[in-house]
Amino acid sequence: MTEDWRDSQEILVMDGRIKVPYAWSAGEVGTTYLESLRDAERFLGTRCPVCGIVYHLPRMHCPDCFEACPEWVELESTGTLVTWTIARRPHPALSPLAPPFGFGVIRLDGADTGFLHLLYGFGVGSLRSGMRVEAVFARERTGSILDVSHFRPSREVV
Amino acid sequence: MERVAVIGVGMTQFARERPAETAADLVFEACTRALEDARLSIEDVDVVITGSNDFFDGRTISSMAVMDACGSYDKNVSTVEGDGTFGAAHALMRVLAGWGTVLYCAHHKGSESVMPLITNAMFDPIFERFLGIEAVTSAALQARAYMDRWGLDEETLALVSVKNHGNAFRNPVAQLPLETTVEDVMGSPYIADPLKRLDCAPVTDGAAAVILADREHARSAGSRAVRVRGVGYSCDAFHLGDRDLADPSALRDAAARAYRGAAIDDPARQIDLAEVSEVFGYMELMWCEGLGLCGPGEAGEMTASGRTARDGDIPVNVSGGCLSANPVLVSGLNRVIECVLQVRGEAGEHQVEGVRTAVAQGFNGPCGQSQCVWVLGGEE
Ligand SMILES: [Zn+2]
């Protein structure tokens, strides 16, 4: 009986990496939106003329009605935390933040839909669904979603 | 629906790392097993469909790299990038389009890449990706929303992990059989609250294949042919903030379509067994509700009462599910294959008595955005 050649084999592994530059268009709606964050610290949504839903993130077309949404709506920088998590594992390639920090779906005042953003700069143990949060804008703004640095518990007086 | 049957199935051994085999080797292994199971040779196959993902494989048009391994030369070939339930649905359509015998295979080598980097890239590059969100943190948002909706605690979510890792002991191809308790799950480190390590599926290498055939070509398989009674799919919004994350509405729609084809109007009574894609423990609860195996918000109680256990009245994931082996893309196909084996009565040690009708579920996209449901077996 001959010994199977595979039994004593050490497997070679080729290390590599795929690195391809991209330049993603933010589109007309995305550009208007990001410019407003950068230049005016103002969130914008779009309203569907048929169902009346105010979308934030804004979009060109209502996915429910399949109609154009040409109307811009100014939104507040405060909102409600719809759901949240606390990231516990560092992923340096994905985020410069050191855990623990939060991700949340936030529904801004004046909008009907939520959007994803970061929650940190406070004890993330206090995170609760339904809590009031407010945006903290970055000092240096470049026309990116990170012109909003993060959200924190709202300091508004009820 | 026209008569279409699954006449052959094949799975590789699933493991955290299978360094000795390339993706093509795994595909060859799965396809060979499916052909043997169907008592066919590759010459009997009219159409070949492959399932792969360029990001996971780290190569452009990854499907082309496995074409040799699935015997596709000179055959009618197409490729599907998405979960195995959708790939198998494409195979079904090829049969319905008049091609007698269709082979579909899917592969995944999770060991060769870095999961969070790849799942991060499924999010919008302008508005979401640079926040650092990926599969686990996004699923955690859904888990929290679901817990909040129904007032569930983390211990209830942990029951799924305990059950499925325990079930995996009876499944020889499963990767991660574990003797574990709710306390063990609760004590495992948080990855993204409320999800802990034991709530999350592992990284897996492996492949699977199925052979579908029309009535005429299914004849050779005899009683081992398992009829496809209904397939449905449905999609929810892409942006997480547009969706009600606690409500599996896309799955409910997909299930309604599959059940219409299968003439099922009371799934909790008419379905004997389910295999669902619980990449995270909480998902099994949500998917059971979406499939109508219980009412909305009732899956936690159903699980706690043991009804979804191996000896319960509606066993869910007796194979160990995705928590015990999660080759992405292949995972949904595994659910279909497990249902086929159960209906045939050939699931070995994890066979459940008297399974006549089984339902399999798979999904694509963050938090189960796009859902696919298969109803297999059952009465003529
Ligand atoms: Zn509308």
Q: Is residue A10 part of a domain?
A: no
Residue B241 to residue A57, Cβ atoms within 8 A: yes
Percent of chain A with pLDDT over 90: 90
Q: Is residue A113 part of a domain?
A: yes
pLDDT at A96: 95
Taking contacts as CB-CB distances below 8 angstroms, the residues of chain B near A146 are: 130-131
Inform me whether the pLDDT recorded for B291 exceeds 90. Answer: yes
Q: Is residue A1 part of a domain?
A: no
- Of B191, B221, B251, which closes a domain? B221
Q: Which of B119, B129, B137, B146 would best serve as a mutation to test chain A binding (most A beta carbons within 10 A)?
A: B137
Q: Is residue B236 part of a domain?
A: yes
Identify the band that residue B378 occupies on the pLDDT scale cut at 50, 70 and 90: confident
Q: Residue B71: give the domain boundaries.
A: 4-113+203-221
Are residues B82 and B159 located together in one domain of the fold?
no
pTM of the model: 0.97
What does the alpha-carbon distance between residue B205 and residue B22 come to, in Å, rounded to a whole number? 10
Distance from CA of A71 to the nearest CA of B (A): 18
Identify the band that residue B174 occupies on the pLDDT scale cut at 50, 70 and 90: very high
Is the ipTM reported for this complex over the cut 0.90?
A: yes
Are residues B24 and B154 located together in one domain of the fold?
no
What does the alpha-carbon distance between residue B251 and residue B232 come to, in Å, rounded to a whole number? 9
Q: Residue A89: give the domain boundaries.
A: 27-153
Give the up-direction half-sphere exposure of residue B280: CA atoms within 13 A in the CB hemisphere: 27
Kindly give the distance from the C-alpha atom of residue A68 to the centroid of ligand 1, in angstroms, as a whole number: 9
Q: Please give the average per-residue pLDDT across B269-274, as a whole number.
A: 97
What does the alpha-carbon distance between residue B88 and residue B86 come to, in Å, rounded to a whole number? 5
Size of the A and B interface in Cβ pairs below 8 Å: 116
Q: Please give the average per-residue pLDDT across B158-179, as a whole number.
A: 98
Amino acid identity, position B44: D
Are residues B182 and B40 located together in one domain of the fold?
no
Q: Is residue A136 part of a domain?
A: yes
Q: Which of A4-8, B354-358, B373-377 has the lowest mean pLDDT?
A: A4-8
The closest of A89, B331, A149 to A133, measured between CA atoms, is A149
Query: CB distance from B190 to chain A under 8 Å?
Result: yes
Give the up-direction half-sphere exposure of residue B195: CA atoms within 13 A in the CB hemisphere: 31
Considering only residues B251 and B3, tell me which one the structure prediction assigns the higher pLDDT.
Answer: B251
pLDDT at B2: 67
Are residues B214 and B287 located together in one domain of the fold?
no
Inform me whether the pLDDT recorded for A155 exceeds 90. Answer: no
Inform me whether the pLDDT recorded for A158 exceeds 60. Answer: no
pLDDT at A111: 98
Are residues B47 and B193 located together in one domain of the fold?
no
Q: What is the CATH number of the domain that holds B328?
A: 3.40.47.10
Are residues B334 and B197 located together in one domain of the fold?
yes
Q: Is residue A4 part of a domain?
A: no
Are residues B103 and B150 located together in one domain of the fold?
no
Kindly give the distance from the C-alpha atom of residue B147 to the centroid of ligand 1, in angstroms, as a whole number: 29
Q: What residues in chain A have their Cβ under 8 A from chain B's Cβ atoms?
A: 6, 9, 11, 13, 16, 18, 22, 24, 26, 30, 34, 55-57, 63, 82-89, 91, 93-95, 97, 103-107, 113-118, 129, 144-146
Nearest chain A residue to B121 by CA: give it: A94
pLDDT at A2: 64
DSSP B104-172: EEEEEEGGGS-HHHHHHTTS-TTTTGGGT--HHHHHHHHHHHHHHHHT--HHHHHHHHHHHHHHGGG-T
What does the alpha-carbon distance between residue B102 and residue B45 come to, in Å, rounded to a whole number? 6
Q: Is residue B380 part of a domain?
A: no
Inform me whether the pLDDT recorded for B1 exceeds 70. Answer: no
Token pair belonging to A16: 């590599």
Q: Is residue A13 part of a domain?
A: no
Residue A94 to residue B142, Cβ atoms within 8 A: no
Inform me whether the pLDDT recorded for A156 exceeds 80. Answer: no
Q: Which of A75, A83, A142 would best serve as a mutation to test chain B binding (most B beta carbons within 10 A)?
A: A83
Residue A116 to residue B131, Cβ atoms within 8 A: yes
Q: What pLDDT, in 10s, does the model give residues A48-106?
A: 999 999 999 999 999 999 999 999 999 999 999 999 999 999 999 999 999 999 999 99
Residue B239 to residue A57, Cβ atoms within 8 A: yes
Nearest chain A residue to B142 by CA: give it: A83
Q: What pLDDT, in 10s, does the model give residues B102-123?
A: 999 999 999 999 999 999 999 9
Q: Please give the average per-residue pLDDT across B292-321, as a whole number.
A: 98
Residue A63 to residue B242, Cβ atoms within 8 A: yes
Contact partners, residue B43, CB within 8 Å, separation at least 6: none
- Of B190, B221, B252, which closes a domain? B221
Q: Please give the average per-residue pLDDT across A5-15, as a whole number.
A: 88
Q: Is residue B128 part of a domain?
A: yes
Are residues B233 and B364 located together in one domain of the fold?
yes
Q: Is residue A81 part of a domain?
A: yes
Q: What is the CATH number of the domain that holds A107?
A: 2.40.50.840
| 3-class state of residue A113 by DSSP | coil
Are residues B180 and B127 located together in one domain of the fold?
yes
Are residues B212 and B169 located together in one domain of the fold?
no
Count of domains in chain B?
2
Kindly give the distance from the C-alpha atom of residue B242 to the centroid of ligand 1, in angstroms, as a whole number: 12
Residue A6 to residue B237, Cβ atoms within 8 A: no
Are residues B193 and B208 located together in one domain of the fold?
no
Are residues B138 and B256 located together in one domain of the fold?
yes
pLDDT at A6: 82
Taking contacts as CB-CB distances below 8 angstroms, the residues of chain B near A116 are: 123, 127-128, 131, 133, 239-241
Q: Is residue A140 part of a domain?
A: yes
